[in-house]
Structure 1
Amino acid sequence: MSAEFDTAETLDVKGASCPMPVLKTKSATDGLDPGDILEVLATDSGSMSDIDGWASGTGGVELVDQIEDGDVYRHYIRKTE
């Protein structure tokens, strides 16, 4: 399954469990330009709620979409500022 986003970067955190997907996502978004979209690939089912909660409580990022693709959870985060 593929989302229709023009991603600036893909972060592969498959195999990592909480809190690493969120920590690595934050670090990766810090290096993006405003408007860029980061695709995060995770295998931890908890990443669905963890990344959603992080994005909701963090200024400067927006969770655009989350997709469950078999055993992989795809998260799309846009840097807003």
Structure 2
Amino acid sequence: MSCKAPPKQHLDASGLRCPLPLLKVKQCLAGMQQGERLEVLATDAGAMRDIPAFIDLTSHTLLQCDQRDQQYYFLIEKG
């Protein structure tokens, strides 16, 4: 049984419009250590496309990607 580490950082990008949620994610990840987790909340629908596409091009891992009402939730592990 493995223990899942809680997110190290939380980013509330609610109210920010494209491309700002993605830029904020990049900034946060740049300041984190490998294996740490970033929890992201966004309200811009473009984030559902942009953030997973960015993660696919990196060594980071998208652990969770959900829409909750009018918010988009992401859990990213820094690679």
1:25 equivalenced with 2:15 (yes/no): no
CA–CA separation in structure 1 for the residues paired with 2:5 and 2:65: 12
Q: What are the Cα deviations for residues 12-57 of structure 1, in whole angstroms up to 9, with x where unaligned?
A: 1101111101100000011111111100110011101100001101
Shift of 1:5: 6.1
Q: Give the alignment's TM-score, normalised by structure 1.
A: 0.87
Structure 1: tracts of 5 or more residues without a match: none
Larger radius of gyration: 2
Structure 2: tracts of 5 or more residues without a match: none
- Measured on the aligned residues, the alpha-carbon RMSD in Å equals 1.4
In structure 2, the CA distance between the partners of 1:14 and 1:5, relative to structure 1 (3 Å rule), is farther
Deviation >3 Å, runs of 4+: none
